[in-house]
């Protein structure tokens, strides 16, 4: 709508002392205020300024348009083109309001074909920014540069070197509109809008090349050349993945009683998947929006696409110019068209018909496995070729698509968690070396020719659960769920796994398979058996601390020491558990590479060797020793409580005292850092972080390689399925 600044008036606030019945005074606004108000409507944000400038370049017949943006357009917008330029005589009034070369009378709006027509865009920019114009026309020996502010030239045009066309720079946009500038402080907000705008222009104006980049960047985010067809332009801007799922569509009507229009364009097929609707609409060469048409198209797609997917639409509609009212929006973003409802219904019917005729075939995409990952895992070339052949020939529905690679067992859940204190990432070998060590670790010696060991190994192999075996061998580690359970994914199922039970069984099997061929863990200080066994016995009987019971404990410890010393040679030869002549424990077996057991459990382990081992028969003896070692080496929670969550209460000082002062201090939840035993807390954090790292990077890779899951694990809660992708899709489809 045209605006006459001389007719704009304002109602001033009544004076506080004035009578309530007296009407407020009407005053005429100053011209500068009127112009700044109008500028705020036309140039709403940096992308609005870019749109106006690019449309001016298109009107100038440019075949090459370049856009440079700094800080989302607030610091700098520079648009350069190779159009016909601006005459020297027109420069003085170039940025005055309502100066234009597009029309001379109001009736010209009925047949207007140019993008701009009001003569407000450049003027508005000079009221909210600093504008500099450099231009040259054909036949001139040099160009001219001039700066504008508040609609007028700041100085006479200065001769300068220039290339064909016009370059317009808008600097410090909204410098005098504090509220508007604050809402646009994030530079990342508007630059994507500018890129999207240039992409849309590039698709429609196939004879024009477009570039758009950030100031100082070497690579352009939009870089197109003149294309031979609109389809090639879409492929160039949005990629092959989008273009391959597009269908050409046309619709028209030539009945004056309904509508007169021609439409052509491209719409996505049922195979196209996207989270957001992309609709590019041009009406009579003008890039606009039409909400009723967009809604009608989405309705047409609702019966074809899944709920989470949205279509891609490009349309060019041509109508008689007298049927389009282009002067209905300050930024020319919308237009009003005659017989809009009829046109929308015709286009909707054409889309529905096209989708129905093309819905006989559907394509579902599978995730391909990285070839470099296959090479790291030692997969043979022919296996890789066979798998790729299968991938190409099979079609997997999205609700059955496996989105992880089981051959990359690295955890996914922990990547989204914050780093915890005491992280072991810098204190342990890198993940690749750990995996290589685990995979390459094999028994270098022949197992002793003992019938009992062969029988125990056969018992393990004959009791395997085939379903769990497949899960174990092809699972992907997700992350820890709590202190005892971890999450893993197998195909489209999610499982909870008891890491204590699984690790205990894995260690037991490793002891049997590596029987007599262990590497050793040398203790830094020899540990007296008597002290270790006394510690274990005291822990078993915490309620009684009398001297009489202590004497009994000593007798039990001496009996166990006597038994272990008799069996010391057997323990050392077959299990690498070395006890010297001074009754000191000096060496333990390395059951699993990169894993050291929790030394806090050594007393319990030695007591178990003395009390729980059946020394009467060879097979039972080896089986019970292996079970004791497996329990000792399993991934049990550390002795110190987990400091995360409620466990932090354990590390508060005076927490166990019975004094009134201690009780009073425990009432306050907001205790200061001085109430925490920092040394003990740090020790606990390191212990829990080490366990978490070992579970992810040692236990699960080793489990995939070595574990043979027994049948009992399928029923005793060791493996529990908690989610299924197929069932989740059924639930979400009902939402």
Residue, of 270 and 106, whose pLDDT is higher: 270
Burial of 635: CB neighbours in 10 Å, binned 0-12, 13-18, 19+: buried
CA distance 520 to 429: 19
The model's pLDDT over 520-537, given as tens digits with 9 standing for 90+, comes to: 888 888 889 888 888 888
Last residue of a domain, one of 173, 196, 228: 228
CA distance 183 to 624: 71
Q: Is the pLDDT of residue 70 over 50?
A: yes
Give the chain's mean pLDDT: 78
The enclosing domain of 307 has a CATH number of 3.30.230.10
CA distance 480 to 416: 12
Please tell me the predicted confidence (pLDDT) of residue 280. 92
Mean pLDDT of 165-181: 87
Ranges 1-5, 153-157, 209-213, 333-337: which has the least confidence: 1-5
Place of tokens 């990342």: 188
Residues 61 and 205 in one domain: yes
Please tell me the predicted confidence (pLDDT) of residue 710. 92
Residues 49 and 127 in one domain: yes
Does 411 fall in a domain?
no
Listed in order, strand segments (DSSP E) in 415-542 are: 476-480, 485-490, 493-498, 519-528
519 phi-psi bin (left φ>0, alpha ψ -120 to 50, beta other): beta
Please tell me the predicted confidence (pLDDT) of residue 314. 94
Ranges 92-106, 274-288, 624-638, 689-703: which has the least confidence: 92-106
Does 106 fall in a domain?
yes
Residue, of 489 and 306, whose pLDDT is higher: 489
Place of tokens 């222009």: 201
The enclosing domain of 173 has a CATH number of 3.30.565.10
Q: What is the largest CA-CA distance in the chain?
A: 116
Mean pLDDT of 439-449: 46
- pLDDT band for position 508 (cuts 50, 70, 90): very high
- pLDDT band for position 685 (cuts 50, 70, 90): confident
Judge contact between 150 and 144, C-beta under 8 A: no
Q: Residue 312 pairs with which residues in a beta bridge?
A: 278
Considering its fold, how many domains does the chain have in total?
Answer: 4
Who contacts 662 (Cβ-Cβ below 8 Å, separation ≥6)?
654, 655, 656
CA atoms within 13 A on the CB side of 582: 7
Residue, of 564 and 433, whose pLDDT is higher: 564
Mean pLDDT of 19-43: 72
Ranges 308-317, 463-472, 545-554: which has the least confidence: 545-554
Does 674 fall in a domain?
no
Does 331 fall in a domain?
yes
Residues 210 and 180 in one domain: yes
- Show the tokens assigned to 567: 């069996």
Residues 568 and 604 in one domain: yes
Last residue of a domain, one of 187, 202, 228: 228
Residues 140 and 262 in one domain: no
Residues 76 and 197 in one domain: yes
CA distance 697 to 718: 20
Does 189 fall in a domain?
yes
The model's pLDDT over 373-394, given as tens digits with 9 standing for 90+, comes to: 444 444 444 444 444 444 444 5
CA 257 → CA 251, 349, 521, distances in Å? 17, 18, 93
Last residue of a domain, one of 201, 228, 255: 228
Residue from 169, 246, 236, 243 nearest 205 by CA: 236
- β-pairing verdict for 485-490 and 336-337: unpaired
Does 646 fall in a domain?
no
Ranges 55-64, 103-112, 601-610: which has the least confidence: 103-112
Q: Is the pLDDT of residue 250 over 90?
A: yes
Mean pLDDT of 227-251: 88
User: What is the per-residue DSSP string for 672-710?
Assistant: -GGGB-HHHHHHHHHHHHHHHHHIIIIIHHHHHHH---B
254: containing domain: 245-357
Listed in order, strand segments (DSSP E) in 435-513 are: 476-480, 485-490, 493-498
CA torsion through residues 418, 419, 422, 425, sign = positive
Residues 142 and 124 in one domain: yes
CA 236 → CA 203, 243, 539, 735, distances in Å? 9, 9, 73, 37
Does 89 fall in a domain?
yes
Who contacts 442 (Cβ-Cβ below 8 Å, separation ≥6)?
none
Q: Is the pLDDT of residue 265 over 60?
A: yes
Phi (first) and psi of residue 113, to 5 degrees: -120, -15
Residues 80 and 222 in one domain: yes
Burial of 220: CB neighbours in 10 Å, binned 0-12, 13-18, 19+: middle
Please tell me the predicted confidence (pLDDT) of residue 501. 92
Please tell me the predicted confidence (pLDDT) of residue 392. 43
Q: Is the pLDDT of residue 316 over 90?
A: yes
Residues 504 and 545 in one domain: no
Residues 40 and 100 in one domain: yes
Residues shown for the chain:
735
Residues 219 and 264 in one domain: no
- Show the tokens assigned to 247: 């269908």
Of all residues in the chain, what percent carry a pLDDT higher than 70?
Answer: 73
Who contacts 668 (Cβ-Cβ below 8 Å, separation ≥6)?
none
pTM, two decimals, is 0.48
- 3-state helix/strand/coil string of 406-420: CCCCCCCHHHHCCCC
CA distance 425 to 550: 44
Ranges 17-26, 248-257, 351-360: which has the least confidence: 17-26
Q: Is the pLDDT of residue 437 over 60?
A: no
Residues 212 and 308 in one domain: no
Q: Is the pLDDT of residue 167 over 50?
A: yes
Does 145 fall in a domain?
yes
Reported as type and span, the H/E element at residue 502 is helix 499-513
């Amino acid at each position: 709508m045209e605006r006459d600044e001389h007719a704009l008036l304002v109602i001033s606030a009544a004076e506080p002392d004035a009578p309530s019945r007296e009407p407020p005074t009407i005053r005429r606004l100053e011209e500068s205020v009127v112009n700044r108000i109008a500028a705020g409507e036309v140039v709403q944000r940096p992308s609005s300024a870019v749109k106006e400038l690019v449309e001016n370049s298109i009107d100038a017949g440019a075949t090459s348009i370049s856009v440079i943006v700094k800080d989302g357009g607030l610091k700098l917008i520079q648009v350069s083109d190779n159009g016909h330029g601006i005459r020297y005589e027109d420069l003085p009034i170039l940025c005055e309001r309502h100066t234009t070369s597009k029309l001379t009378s109001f009736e010209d709006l009925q047949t207007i074909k140019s993008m701009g027509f009001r003569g407000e865009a450049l003027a508005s920019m000079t009221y909210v920014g600093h504008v500099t114009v450099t231009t040259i026309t054909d036949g001139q020996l040099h160009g001219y540069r001039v700066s504008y502010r508040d609609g007028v030239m700041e100085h006479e045009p200065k001769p300068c070197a220039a290339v064909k066309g016009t370059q317009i720079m808008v600097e410090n946009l909204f410098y005098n509109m504090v509220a508007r500038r604050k809402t646009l402080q994030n530079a990342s907000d508007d630059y994507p809008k500018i890129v999207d705008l240039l992409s849309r222009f590039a698709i429609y104006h196939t004879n024009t090349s477009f570039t758009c980049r950030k100031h100082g960047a070497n690579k352009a985010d939009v870089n197109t050349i003149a294309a031979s067809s609109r389809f090639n332009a879409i492929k160039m801007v949005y990629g092959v993945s989008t273009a391959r799922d597009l269908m050409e569509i046309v619709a028209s009507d030539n009945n004056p009683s309904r509508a007169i229009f021609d439409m052509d364009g491209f719409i996505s097929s049922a195979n196209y998947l996207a989270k957001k609707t992309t609709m590019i609409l041009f009406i009579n060469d003008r890039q606009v929006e039409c909400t009723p048409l967009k809604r009608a198209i989405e309705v047409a797609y609702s019966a074809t696409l899944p709920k989470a997917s949205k279509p891609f639409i490009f349309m060019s509609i041509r109508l008689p110019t007298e049927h389009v009212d282009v002067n209905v929006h300050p930024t020319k973003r919308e237009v009003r068209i005659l017989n809009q409802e009829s046109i929308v219904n015709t286009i909707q019917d054409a889309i529905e018909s096209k989708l129905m005729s093309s819905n006989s075939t559907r394509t579902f995409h599978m995730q391909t496995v990285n070839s470099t990952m296959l090479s790291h895992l030692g997969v043979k070339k022919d296996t890789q070729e066979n798998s790729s052949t299968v991938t190409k020939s099979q079609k997997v529905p999205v609700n059955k698509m496996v989105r992880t690679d089981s051959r990359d067992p690295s955890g996914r859940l922990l990547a989204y968690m914050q780093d915890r204190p005491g992280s072991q990432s810098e204190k342990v070998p890198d993940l690749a070396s750990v995996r290589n060590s685990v995979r390459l670790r094999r028994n270098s010696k022949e197992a002793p020719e003992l019938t009992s060991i062969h029988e125990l190994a056969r018992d393990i192999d004959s009791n395997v659960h085939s379903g769990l075996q497949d899960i174990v061998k092809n699972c992907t580690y997700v992350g820890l769920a709590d202190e005892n359970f971890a999450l893993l994914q197998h195909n489209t199922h999610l499982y909870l796994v008891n890491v204590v039970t699984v690790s205990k069984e894995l260690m037991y099997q490793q002891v049997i398979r590596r029987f007599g061929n262990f590497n050793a863990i040398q203790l830094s200080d020899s540990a007296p058996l008597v002290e270790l066994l006394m510690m274990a016995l005291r822990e078993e009987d915490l309620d009684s601390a009398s001297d009489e019971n202590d004497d009994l404990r000593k007798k039990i410890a001496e009996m166990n020491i006597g038994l272990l010393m008799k069996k010391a040679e057997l323990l050392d030869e077959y299990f690498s558990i070395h006890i010297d002549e001074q009754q000191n424990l000096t060496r333990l077996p390395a059951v699993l590479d990169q894993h050291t057991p929790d030394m806090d459990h050594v007393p319990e382990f030695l007591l178990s060797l003395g009390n729980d081992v059946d020394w009467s028969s060879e097979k039972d003896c080896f089986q019970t020793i292996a079970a004791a070692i497996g329990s000792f080496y399993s991934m049990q929670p550390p002795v110190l409580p987990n400091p995360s969550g409620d466990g932090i209460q354990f590390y508060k000082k005076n927490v166990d005292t019975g004094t009134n002062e201690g009780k009073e201090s425990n009432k306050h939840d907001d205790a200061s850092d001085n109430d925490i035993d920092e040394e003990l807390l740090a020790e606990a954090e390191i212990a829990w972080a080490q366990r978490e790292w070992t579970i992810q990077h040692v236990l699960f890779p080793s489990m995939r390689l070595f574990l043979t899951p027994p049948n009992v694990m399928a029923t005793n809660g060791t493996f529990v399925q908690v989610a299924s992708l197929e069932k989740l899709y059924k639930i979400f489809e009902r939402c």
